[in-house]
Structure 1
Amino acid sequence: MNDNPILAPTARPADMPTRRYSLAALRSLIATWRERARFRRGLEDISKANPHMIDDIGLKRWQAEAEIAKPFWQP
């Protein structure tokens, strides 16, 4: 028997659900990422072409820059 706790198999409680990933969940995640990237590109275009419109949508300049700087996987 292996007494090493790192290599020993871990017991899962009976009430602990197992994670199941599906193709639909993956597609949904990718669609979310694409929408975030599209939104941030659009916000960047607006901030460059018409900076006054940032105020019209209710954002401060620093808020728009912070949103544009985020990678697509961050909400």
Structure 2
Amino acid sequence: MPVEPAEVSRRHYSLATLRSIIATWGERIRFRWELEQKLKEDPHLIDDIGLTRQQFEAEIAKSFWQVSNPL
């Protein structure tokens, strides 16, 4: 059975959306990992960026699919 053009574009859009979501998740993983590394290297940086230790720990504890609070 032939695929209609509307179905093809819908599949393409869905694949693009999926790629975008996966890229965003990767960025969140890297961002939270880097925050954690900065804390280990220099704990005083938390104060410099205006976060409390509790806010910082809550951010790095989030799973990759959870949205970050603006820092």
- The TM-score, its normalising length taken from structure 2, stands at 0.73
Q: Could you tell me which residue of structure 2 aligns to residue 54 of structure 1?
A: 46
Which has the larger helix fraction?
A: 2
Structure 1 residue identity aligned to 2:56: A
How far residue 66 of structure 1 moved from its aligned partner, in angstroms, is 0.4
**Structure 1 letter corresponding to 2:39:** S
Q: Greater CA radius of gyration, 1 or 2?
A: 1
| Aligned residue number for residue 16 of structure 2 | 24
CA RMSD of aligned residues (A): 1.2
Where in structure 1 are there 5+ consecutive unaligned residues? Answer: 1-19
Cα distance in 1 between the residues matched to 2:37 and 2:58 = 14
Distance 1:60 1:39 in 2: 17
**Size of the alignment, in residue pairs?**
56
> What secondary structure is seen at the aligned counterpart in 1 of 2:65?
coil
